[in-house]
Chains A and B, each alone.
Chain A
Amino acid sequence: MSVKKRRPLEGVRIADLTWLLAGAGGPRLLASLGAEVIRIEWRDRLDFLRYMPPFASKREEESTEKAEAMDLTGLDTGKVQSVNRGGYFNDINAGKYGISLNMKAPQGRELFKKLVAVSDVVVEAFTAETMQKWGLGYDTLKAIKPDIIYMQQPGWGYKGPYVKYASYGPIAQAVSGLTEQSGLPAPHPPAGWGFSYMDWSGAYYCAMTILMALYYKKRTGKGQYLDCSQVEPGIGMTGTAVLDHAVNGRHYQRTGNRSPYTPAAPHGAYPCAGDDRWIAIAVTSEEEWQAFVRILGNPDWAAQDRFASLAERVKYQDELDRLVNAWTQEQEPFGLQERLQAAGVPAGVCQTAQDRIERDPQLKHLNWLLPLEHTEIGTWPIKDIPFHFANGQVSQGGPTERAAPCYAEDNAYVYKELLGLSQAEIEAFQDEGVI
């Protein structure tokens, strides 16, 4: 019997008023599970990511964008050729529909209410009072659609004295404790995170929270209001350190790449031959140590008493690391990874994006990049969802089977087919600056 594959969130519609990554990444994940996500944008205040490099260059010309550091002192929106060419935006919004809608216009808000009436979820990451100010608080949304799920994600959460405070990934990381927990021991400063981990985590918890509420609605018929923050999920990942303080009065101290709570040595990133090449090695047992020493070629130093047991190796790991460094820096990293892994030693090259995209045979085997077509820039690889369903149809193309929407790309579908507006009405709204 052949059964047509179905998307787990088939029939679920999400009005998506988010932007950036922490907000917009959540509905991206829900689109991969099959939800119809309608991304709402307005031309006067577009998502920064539409202006952020890298850009897809037009086939016939060279990219004119020279890669620079991000400039946070002020956004220069006049610089880009088209708001539809940002590669980062394309990745974060794959699988979504896109419409233009001016929420500041009263008629725009009336149209939004029509969309709410046919949606299951409203999700937004405006500053806290914006929707109230527009007369679109939970009570209003609920009056339009009694079982609506309404999720607000201002940075620090709606309830509490910091309701107006701003949060971006680096801030959520700093406040939660995750930044302090990354780096070499003092007197080195924290190294923090080289990307917005809490933007991804914000996106995960956005998706997770909506999914929980959708399940609850399926089982009980009830919608609900959800007050989410970007910082709290970060706090949830520091729980062991919080407990160590509560129970033992201990303050967290960074240990670099060394294993803080499980005895292990060597345990760190070791330099290899080449420019800024490193391999992570983690030896946690006697068996792995023996195998490691064999791969090293049984050097005399490895037989010294002070490396005779795991406890001793941990105690003398400064010296051990120095000796391991001297050896690894002569080695080609990927060959060494193969040899160590073949001998049963956990080891992996510190891979760059290039390594993962062009070289990593396992990621290739798992089809981690999915070619998806974008209406303006053509087909580009998009990071696919990392879970593989045997029965359900789950992939980052979502119901659109497309990469990110161009600005206002799906106005016809949403306004005409979904909301039943006539062509004349649509044109009138366009002329009036509503859509």
Chain B
Amino acid sequence: MDGFLFDVKVLELADEKGEFCGKLLAGAGADVLKIEPPGGQATREIGPFYHDEVHPERSLYFWHYNFGKRGITLDIESPPGTDLLKQLIAEADVLIDAQPLGTLEKLGLDWNALQALNPRLIYVLLSPFGHSGPWRDYKANDLVHLALGGQMMCCGYSPSDDGSYDTPPIAPQMWHAYHIAGNQAFIATVGALIGREMTEVGEMIELPVHQAVSVCTEIDVPHWIYGQTPCYRQTGRHAQPAIGPEVQFPTKDGRYSIILPNPFPGGYETLVGFLEGKGKAGDLGEDTYKELKNRRGRAFAEHFADIQAACVADFDLEEIWHEAQELGIPWSPIRLPEENPDDVQWQTRATFSQVEHPELGESYTYTGAPMLPNECAWRQGPRAPLIGEHNREVLCEQLGLSAEAVADLQDKGIV
């Protein structure tokens, strides 16, 4: 089956800001060519590493975020490198540029020049804070983005009873600022590709990571806009104007389960019936609680949570949640990422796939398609490119350089 973006050619000049977007485009079927500096992209230095060997071909971070791409090395700042880059741009549909601000401009490749090279080009410019503005030159990483974007003030542990916090706000790991930006960049890019079908002209899209991250929180912004009400972070649940009842509780095997009630009509009664079946309903079945108005307020909410917590504490993590979910009660395990490949749901949906690393003679479990289409297929391979793996294929077969010319570029450190 085809990939969705079967005829789209993408060039990627990106570090961790843009690699996730490139990975998604590759997953959707685009031909994504990653251009790395000679020696490899700096993201190859990010761990964890295969067998803990710190080596540019052993970064599991790089494996994951560059899955399904082809890769060449090219010093784009050298004159022959710039020239080859221009030839590649002329044939591309999309250019993802997440390099330091002004990198392409310095090579004479500003938006006007890019349009002249390729009027149909979709140019996607990812930067930490945008190309202008007072924070234009600020430096950031994942942590700093999640601080400025508001995620951290929403995430963390509940305050003490006096309302003071003795733990810091928490940045959820790992690399979510770039996940958020990558998802948004994908939306913008494919939207622009669709628009190009109508207009036949390209597009420049600017996406500041800071703005992408800042719009990805939930009720804290409307609460401030409509009521100037602050929201307070609390363990495992939404930051809100007041501290709500707990939702995550320890299980018998020392793990944690999440317990949400079903707020639909009848949800309470179903839950009580389920708890009664376990001999754990406490007083929840009493007549007084049959009326919604008697189930209001903080005291009941805490009582309600305590009773459910006592039930969960009698079971191992994976034991009872299926029974609850079969009844429409949304209890669920707080899992480790590596526990999911064994789940029959994901096995049925082929959510994970085995990816071959021929140079290692091994195959490993990767996360795969985020959905199941019936007409198209999500990409199954290959694994991330080795450094310069497709130099020959691209430079000789696509751009028509001779083997000698490539060898010469190699000697000069340009590829």
**Pair A74/B172 contact, Cβ less than 8 Å:** no
Contacts A166-B325, A387-B185 given: A8-B192 contact, CB under 8 Å?
Answer: yes
| Across-interface contacts of A354 in B (CB, < 8 A) | 224, 228, 230
4 A-B pairs with the lowest CB-CB distances in the bound complex, closest first:
A8-B195, A177-B337, A194-B154, A69-B244
Is residue A36 within 8 Å, beta carbon to beta carbon, of the partner chain? no
Report Cα–Cα, A49/B345, bound state, in Å. Answer: 30
Contacts A174-B258, A380-B225 given: A67-B154 contact, CB under 8 Å?
Answer: no
| Across-interface contacts of A247 in B (CB, < 8 A) | 50-51, 60, 364
| Across-interface contacts of A75 in B (CB, < 8 A) | 263-264
**Pair B155/A244 contact, Cβ less than 8 Å:** no
| Across-interface contacts of A180 in B (CB, < 8 A) | 256, 334-337
**Pair B367/A72 contact, Cβ less than 8 Å:** no
Report Cα–Cα, A164/B171, bound state, in Å. Answer: 32
Is residue B80 within 8 Å, beta carbon to beta carbon, of the partner chain? no
**Pair A73/B374 contact, Cβ less than 8 Å:** no
Contacts A161-B348, A391-B203 given: A190-B256 contact, CB under 8 Å?
Answer: yes
Contacts A161-B345, A191-B156, A227-B372 given: A261-B150 contact, CB under 8 Å?
Answer: no
| Nearest-neighbor residue (CB-CB) of B206 within chain A | A388
Contacts A190-B256, A240-B48 given: A73-B263 contact, CB under 8 Å?
Answer: yes
Report Cα–Cα, A386/B345, bound state, in Å. Answer: 34
A81 to chain B, nearest CB (A): 14
Q: List 25 A-B contacts (CB under 8 A).
A: A6-B195, A6-B199, A53-B223, A74-B295, A87-B227, A157-B345, A170-B236, A174-B248, A177-B336, A180-B256, A194-B237, A201-B179, A209-B371, A214-B194, A215-B5, A225-B374, A232-B369, A235-B346, A238-B340, A241-B336, A269-B170, A280-B171, A356-B149, A362-B208, A391-B202
Is residue A418 within 8 Å, beta carbon to beta carbon, of the partner chain? no
Contacts A211-B190, A353-B220 given: A54-B226 contact, CB under 8 Å?
Answer: yes
Interface size class of B (residues with CB under 8 A): 35 or more
**Pair B345/A162 contact, Cβ less than 8 Å:** yes
**Pair A87/B226 contact, Cβ less than 8 Å:** yes
| Across-interface contacts of B295 in A (CB, < 8 A) | 73-74
Report Cα–Cα, A279/B262, bound state, in Å. Answer: 38
A78 to chain B, nearest CB (A): 10
**Pair B51/A248 contact, Cβ less than 8 Å:** yes
**Pair A212/B170 contact, Cβ less than 8 Å:** no
Is residue B69 within 8 Å, beta carbon to beta carbon, of the partner chain? no
New contact pairs (4) apart from A70-B240, A165-B326, A262-B45, CB-CB < 8 Å: A194-B153, A195-B155, A341-B135, A388-B205
Q: Is the interface of B mostly helix, strand, loop or mixed?
A: mixed
Report Cα–Cα, A422/B226, bound state, in Å. Answer: 39
Contacts A351-B147, A353-B231 given: A72-B260 contact, CB under 8 Å?
Answer: yes
Contact with B along A347-365 (1 / 0, CB 8 A): 1111111111100111101
**Pair B204/A69 contact, Cβ less than 8 Å:** no
Is residue A146 within 8 Å, beta carbon to beta carbon, of the partner chain? no
Is residue B351 within 8 Å, beta carbon to beta carbon, of the partner chain? yes
| Across-interface contacts of A204 in B (CB, < 8 A) | 183-184, 186-187
Interface size class of A (residues with CB under 8 A): 35 or more
Q: Kindly count the residue-residue contacts between A and B in the assembled complex, taking CB atoms under 8 Å apart.
A: 571
Is residue A407 within 8 Å, beta carbon to beta carbon, of the partner chain? no
| Across-interface contacts of A360 in B (CB, < 8 A) | 148, 214
| Nearest-neighbor residue (CB-CB) of B301 within chain A | A73
Comparing B138-146, B274-282, B401-409, the segment that makes contact with chain A is: B138-146
Report Cα–Cα, A52/B223, bound state, in Å. Answer: 11
| Nearest-neighbor residue (CB-CB) of A392 within chain B | B195
**Pair A352/B150 contact, Cβ less than 8 Å:** yes
A369 to chain B, nearest CB (A): 8
Contact with B along A57-86 (1 / 0, CB 8 A): 100000101011111111110000000000
Report Cα–Cα, A365/B228, bound state, in Å. Answer: 22
Say which residue of B7, B221, B335 sits within 8 Å of A383 (CB atoms).
Answer: B221
Say which residue of A205, A209, A224, A352 sits within 8 Å of B220 (CB atoms).
Answer: A352
B375 to chain A, nearest CB (A): 3
Report Cα–Cα, A72/B245, bound state, in Å. Answer: 10
B220 to chain A, nearest CB (A): 4
Is residue B330 within 8 Å, beta carbon to beta carbon, of the partner chain? yes
| Across-interface contacts of B358 in A (CB, < 8 A) | none
Comparing A99-107, A251-259, A307-315, A423-431, the segment that makes contact with chain B is: A251-259
| Across-interface contacts of A420 in B (CB, < 8 A) | none
| Across-interface contacts of B157 in A (CB, < 8 A) | 183-184, 188, 191
**Pair B337/A242 contact, Cβ less than 8 Å:** yes
| Across-interface contacts of A33 in B (CB, < 8 A) | 187, 191, 194-195
Is residue B73 within 8 Å, beta carbon to beta carbon, of the partner chain? no
**128-184 of chain B: CB within 8 A of chain A:** 129-130, 132-141, 143-157, 164-165, 167-174, 176, 179-180, 183-184
Report Cα–Cα, A204/B244, bound state, in Å. Answer: 28
**160-181 of chain A: CB within 8 A of chain B:** 160-162, 164-168, 170-171, 174-181
A64 to chain B, nearest CB (A): 11
**Pair A165/B325 contact, Cβ less than 8 Å:** yes
| Across-interface contacts of A188 in B (CB, < 8 A) | 157
Report Cα–Cα, A167/B267, bound state, in Å. Answer: 14
**Pair A208/B134 contact, Cβ less than 8 Å:** no
**Pair B143/A252 contact, Cβ less than 8 Å:** no
Report Cα–Cα, A222/B256, bound state, in Å. Answer: 45
**Pair B239/A181 contact, Cβ less than 8 Å:** no
Is residue A108 within 8 Å, beta carbon to beta carbon, of the partner chain? no
Report Cα–Cα, A257/B173, bound state, in Å. Answer: 8
Contacts A191-B235, A351-B147 given: A356-B214 contact, CB under 8 Å?
Answer: yes
Is residue A48 within 8 Å, beta carbon to beta carbon, of the partner chain? yes
Report Cα–Cα, A10/B186, bound state, in Å. Answer: 19
Report Cα–Cα, A385/B238, bound state, in Å. Answer: 23
B152 to chain A, nearest CB (A): 4
Contacts A74-B268, A226-B373 given: A208-B186 contact, CB under 8 Å?
Answer: yes
**Pair B330/A171 contact, Cβ less than 8 Å:** yes
Is residue A196 within 8 Å, beta carbon to beta carbon, of the partner chain? yes
| Across-interface contacts of B192 in A (CB, < 8 A) | 8, 389, 392
| Across-interface contacts of A190 in B (CB, < 8 A) | 236, 248, 256, 334
**Pair A262/B133 contact, Cβ less than 8 Å:** no
Say which residue of A176, A212, A238 sits within 8 Å of B4 (CB atoms).
Answer: A212
| Across-interface contacts of A70 in B (CB, < 8 A) | 238, 240, 244
Report Cα–Cα, A170/B237, bound state, in Å. Answer: 8
| Across-interface contacts of A124 in B (CB, < 8 A) | none
**58-83 of chain B: CB within 8 A of chain A:** 60-61, 63-65
| Across-interface contacts of A178 in B (CB, < 8 A) | 172
**9-35 of chain A: CB within 8 A of chain B:** 9-12, 21, 29, 33-34
| Across-interface contacts of A68 in B (CB, < 8 A) | 241-242
| Nearest-neighbor residue (CB-CB) of B148 within chain A | A348
**Pair A213/B335 contact, Cβ less than 8 Å:** no
Report Cα–Cα, A345/B6, bound state, in Å. Answer: 42
| Across-interface contacts of A262 in B (CB, < 8 A) | 45-47
| Across-interface contacts of A29 in B (CB, < 8 A) | 187
Report Cα–Cα, A233/B340, bound state, in Å. Answer: 13
Report Cα–Cα, A387/B294, bound state, in Å. Answer: 47
**Pair A87/B222 contact, Cβ less than 8 Å:** yes
Contacts A193-B155, A345-B139, A366-B208 given: A74-B223 contact, CB under 8 Å?
Answer: no
